[in-house]
Structure 1
């Protein structure tokens, strides 16, 4: 990667990835894009930013060619719960946007590097729920999952047919303090830290006993960078690798928080839509192939992530003047 274009750069992944790549590659070598341009946003203010609707192919191609990018990281998509509410729009955005992105990569030139994330949502309820293998039956029952498994096949097609250097991962739930959650089924695992600090209580919209794979955002960003820099001759699967750092149920993340906030309390107000989505996903996936083919290795487990989230969010709330019932200045050793 020398010059990178990111779509959906204001989202949870994009905002942190843009910051990382600007450090790694230089500010002028990262073109961040999104459908809106908010004021006082660091992704907008701290580097090259352009407005782009990924369904506008001509504008997409113009930005890529004008800036002579060699890598496209396509993150613009509608997430799981929101996609279930607007399935036709989700298909048009997720698949139409991906098709445009791949066509732009093809037009930019053979060998262009391309990344668009898949998800554990691609599996569906027929897959082996525990230690779910890389290669197995995939019958998703959500529109989000349908677009993700379709996207994996489309990316493989563009690699085999046109020589686009496509690479992808199946992300688990991603947890970050920097950008608030945006409509995902796993977002309870972000919300819970916000509410723990603000109110010392939380009502989970995911029911007790529901295991899902999760990952701290720092590990997710590292995974993208490491995969995109990996020796292509080692890559067997390409689209897409299972990756995960941990799998837990709501009770376990609550217990991790209670280590630091002993009087934290959690109840349940289960959302049937998101619970149904969660029930269709694996409990824990097998990331062996990612470890073997490009040395994937996460750094954060549940307790280390909890400590980091509470400290980082405490500082963020203090800077924003948000009132909390508890705060932390340092991570306990």
Structure 2
């Protein structure tokens, strides 16, 4: 059977890279990217879509005979704390629409992105277990916990094949930060390549789980490709890439830019970060679908710096 893929939130940091990877896997004409506004940088099929509009979503799923939905549209952690009720409404209503339309139109698989934001300060922060008690400190995290449980509910009640990953901080050169607490780890590379001073909104010793975007995309596709009988977690899988602090990433960057300067001015995002894991136990992902990261900090730094240098040189030229 031919797979037809719909990606919501395709213009976001993860969505843009996910779209290209899925186009390579399934073919450009079998991947439909969508977002709230037009995106001229996309090659292939693109639809303007507000996922809070159930009928609009249903129309696109029917039009393209969609078999899989990657639901990446959401308001993230830091931005979500500025608009908590709006964040809850949008994050939940969009996912409910995806679940209902998938159930009604027999979509085979749904991918739902969760996050380390589901964890709260009550957890073991080192090697945080898969089955931790989830008491998040942000409305974004609260919405993700609720979404995980609804994913499990739709699987149990309607046999809808919903799969999910709890992403660490995702780092990539392809787009600018999108309002997350881990976004300093993207911005810091931009400042370094532009040879500008960087002011970090977290303390220099704040260690958080991170993942390079190519690993994150590969993990997602590997999860979605795994046989259904291998999937033992129907809420969301812990996923680990690497863990580091702002000082450690700055030190990695200084191997290329020894004069790079960083200062630290913690803001409200520090409290969010302090409630999150420092490292993640992703044993179940390794056991169930063979997950293994490829990138460590220095390997990621090299790719980030090389690509951002090429980008900024082309802008100047």
Length-normalised TM-score, structure 1: 0.93
- RMSD (CA atoms): 1.1
2:281 alignment partner in structure 1: 286
C-alpha separation between the residues in 1 aligned to 2:84 and 2:228?
Answer: 35
Q: Displaced runs of 4+ in structure 1, greater than 6 A?
A: none
Q: Match for residue 230 of structure 2?
A: 234
User: Could you tell me which residue of structure 1 aligns to residue 179 of structure 2?
Assistant: 183
Question: Which deviations, in whole Å up to 9, do the C-alpha atoms of 1:214-257 show, x marking residues without a partner?
Answer: 00000000011100000111111132001111111111001101
CA distance in 2 between counterparts of 1:220 and 1:321 reads: 30
SS of residue matched to 1:214: strand
Q: Is the 8 A contact 1:172 1:215 kept in 2?
A: yes
CA separation in 2, counterparts of 1:260 and 1:101?
44
8 Å CA contact retained: 1:200, 1:261: no
How many angstroms apart in 2 are the aligned matches of 1:264 and 1:166?
A: 44
Distance of 1:293 and 1:98 partners within structure 2: 25
Q: Does the alignment pair 1:84 with 2:81?
A: yes
Q: Is 1:58 aligned with 2:77? A: no
3-state SS in 2 of match to 1:185: coil
In the other structure, the counterpart of 1:277 is 272
Partner residue of 1:120 out of 116, 119, 138: 116
SS in 1 for 2:266: coil
Q: Cα offset for 1:263?
A: 1.3
Distance 2:208 2:122 in 1: 16
> Is contact 1:200-1:263 (8 Å) kept?
no
Deviation of the 1:265 alpha carbon: 1.7
Q: Is 1:221–2:238 an aligned residue pair?
A: no
Query: 224, 244, 248: which one pairs with 1:248?
Result: 244
Structure 2: state its 5+ residue gaps.
none
- Distance (whole Å) between structure 2 residues aligned to residue 193 and residue 37 of structure 1: 28
Return the match for 1:297 from 272, 285, 292.
292
1:321 positional shift:
1.9
Separation of aligned partners in 2, 1:304 and 1:159: 38
Q: Does residue 134 of structure 2 align to residue 138 of structure 1?
A: yes
Partner SS state of residue 182, structure 2: helix
> Which one of 134, 145, 159 corresponds to residue 149 of structure 1?
145
Secondary structure of the residue that 1:139 maps to in structure 2? Answer: coil
- Match of 2:146, SS? helix
Where 2:127 maps in the other structure, the secondary structure is: strand
Gap regions ≥5 residues in structure 1? 323-333
Q: Secondary structure at the match of 1:141?
A: coil
* Distance (Å, rounded) in 1 between the aligned partners of 2:285 and 2:32: 28
After TM superposition, give the deviation of residue 261 of structure 1 in Å: 1.1
Q: When the two structures are aligned, how many residues end up with a matched partner?
A: 316
Are 2:155 and 2:234, in contact at CA under 8 Å, matched by a contact in 1? no
> Contact (CA 8 Å) 1:81, 1:185: kept in 2 or not?
yes
Q: Does 1:12 align with 2:9?
A: no
What is the aligned counterpart of 1:195 among 187, 191, 196? 191
**C-alpha displacement of 1:200:** 4.6
Between the aligned partners of 2:312 and 2:256, the Cα distance in structure 1 is 17
Distance 2:243 2:190 in 1: 20
User: Which residues in structure 2 correspond to 1:62-73 (within 5 Å)?
Assistant: 62-73=59-70
The CA deviation string for residues 61-114 of structure 1, in whole angstroms up to 9 with x for no partner, is 1100111111011000000001000001101110010000111110121x6100
